[in-house]
Amino acid sequence: MTDHVHAKVGNDTGFITLDRPKAMNALSLDMIRAITGTLLDWRDNDDISAVVIRSTTEKALCAGGDIRFFHAAGRATPQGGSAQIEDFFTEEYALNYLVHCFPKPYVAVMDGVVMGGGMGIAQGGPQCGVRVVTDRTRLAMPEVNIGLFPDVGGSYFLSRAPGKLGVYLALTALAIDAPDALYCGLADHYVPASELPQLADLVGSTAGAGLREAVALFGRSLRHEAGPSALQAHRALIDDHFAHRSVDEIVASLRSDDHPVARTALAAMERRSPLMMRVTFEMMRRGATMGIADCLRMERNLVRRTFEHGEVIEGVRALAIDKDNAPRWNPPSLDGVTDDMVARFFEPAWPTWAHPLRHL
């Protein structure tokens, strides 16, 4: 067990606590392995009836993967083919699948920032997942901002958001709050941060088998306090713009609209990787008709192609290394992105029988 992941059991409930506060619990490979090993042990342990994942800091459950690691490992090997990167994404996506399919109540306390890889360890499946958000929650899939794409199952859970909200979140990489997360189906219950101690008391005193129902009852009593959803209020406008057949058409549509929501979305997309927005749009189209395992296998293929291209290395450099916020995207604009460039990302990197996630 890494120093950044703590596991304990109480009242037949297993507690996983992330403890890397200076990095906002950004996931390292060691952390992924620690969480995976713990969940596998508890999945097959009849004495454990439920799992809770939480953080030691109110700032974040998990801000994502360790992007500085991506930059260092990707630069160290030609075409980004680092064995460390390969292991990281293979094992992270296997963990995401384990979380989604976990057969016991899995409660994710999504307090503070929950982005990227943090979403992957919070988005439990509909049968057993319990996702709790607070007034401090800031949720996003910001990958196109660093030259990547919404992974960790994003092609699955974003494509199932109401209307075109998933496409909007994927292409803009904008953050949302608790009411929006609830409306988009990316969270189940709202608990004010001030009530988290009471939630902790409830969890600690409830036998694991009844935990899902107890948290649901507690959350329902407080849901009205979450407030209105801005995405719900502007759903028609977002659906209208993001229902277009291509990213180019979406951008053109947004440019024709002076509404503040359209202006904000356009400004965000104009800063994102043109290539990865196109790849993301195609990924979302495909993911809408695929199961979680196939979505993760598709995303694993896309990761290999993305590091081969190098867009993510440049994105991380601009955001987290040099911090100049001036990425040199390749191509630099949407009109330079061809259909062949996008299609290349979806070409199989392995034969089916050799895919690293073939066993999902």
Q: pLDDT digit string (tens) for 175-231?
A: 999 999 999 999 999 999 999 999 998 888 887 778 888 888 887 777 778 899 999
The whole-angstrom separation of Cα 159 and Cα 78 is: 33
pLDDT digits (tens, 9 = 90+) for 119-128: 999 999 988 9
Q: Give the ranges where the chain is alpha helix by DSSP (H).
A: 29-43, 67-76, 83-100, 117-120, 154-157, 165-172, 178-184, 196-205, 211-220, 230-233, 235-242, 247-255, 260-269, 274-287, 292-309, 311-316, 339-346
pLDDT of amino acid 81: 57
What pLDDT band is residue 75 in, cutting at 50, 70 and 90?
A: low
What pLDDT is attached to residue 65?
A: 84
CB 250 within 8 A of CB 241: yes
Residue 168 has a pLDDT of 98
Report the distance separating Cα 36 and Cα 101, nearest Å.
13
Inform me whether the pLDDT recorded for 71 exceeds 70: no
Residue 285 has pLDDT above 70, yes or no: yes
Q: pTM, whole model, 2 decimals? A: 0.95
Which one from 14, 74, 117, 219 is the annotated catalytic residue? 117
Question: d(Cα 187, Cα 179) in Å, to the nearest integer?
Answer: 9
- Which residue, 156, 121, 127, 149, is CA-closest to 39? 121
Share above pLDDT 90 across residues of the chain, in percent, rounded to a whole number: 80
pLDDT of residue 36: 98
Say what the pLDDT of residue 161 is. 98
Q: How confident is the model at residue 310 (pLDDT cuts 50, 70, 90)?
A: confident
Number of H helices, E strands in the chain: 17, 9
Say which residue the tokens 């406008």 belong to.
237
Structure tokens at 107: 């409660």
For residue 323, the cross-strand partners are none
Residue in this structure with the two tokens 């439920």, named with its chain if needed: 50
Task: Considering the candidates 66, 86, 143, 282, report the single residue annotated as catalytic.
Answer: 143
Round the average pLDDT of the chain to a whole number and report it.
93
The larger pLDDT score, comparing residue 70 to residue 254, is at: 254
Task: Measure the N-to-C terminal CA separation of the chain; round to a whole number of Å.
Answer: 24
Q: Which amino acid is at 274?
A: P
Q: Could you give the domains of the chain?
A: 5-354 (3.90.226.10)
- Is a pLDDT exceeding 70 seen at residue 158? yes
**If pLDDT is split at 50, 70 and 90, which confidence band does 74 have?**
low
- Give the confidence band of 84 by pLDDT, cuts at 50, 70, 90: confident
Determine whether 117 is an active site residue.
yes
Given phi > 0 = left and psi -120 to 50 = alpha, else beta, which region is 19?
beta
Give the H or E element holding residue 18.
strand 13-18
Mean per-residue pLDDT for 294-300? 98
14 belongs to the catalytic site: no
Predicted local confidence at residue 116, as pLDDT: 95
Confidence (pLDDT) at 4: 96
Per DSSP, helices labelled H in 77-164 are 83-100, 117-120, 154-157
Whether 282 is a known active-site residue: answer: no
Give the residue-averaged pLDDT of 276-291: 98
C-alpha torsion sign, points 102, 103, 104, 105? positive
Task: From the candidates 14, 65, 80, 116, give the one annotated as an active-site residue.
Answer: 65
Cα–Cα distance, 125 to 175 (Å, whole number): 22
86 assigned to active site: no
Rounded to an integer, the average pLDDT of 138-147 is 95
50-69 pLDDT tens trace = 999 999 999 999 999 877 77
Check 151, 177, 299, 311 and give the catalytic one.
Answer: 151
* Distance in angstroms (rounded) separating the CA atoms of residues 89 and 99: 15
For residue 346, give the amino acid letter.
F
- CB count within 10 Å of CB 57 equals 16
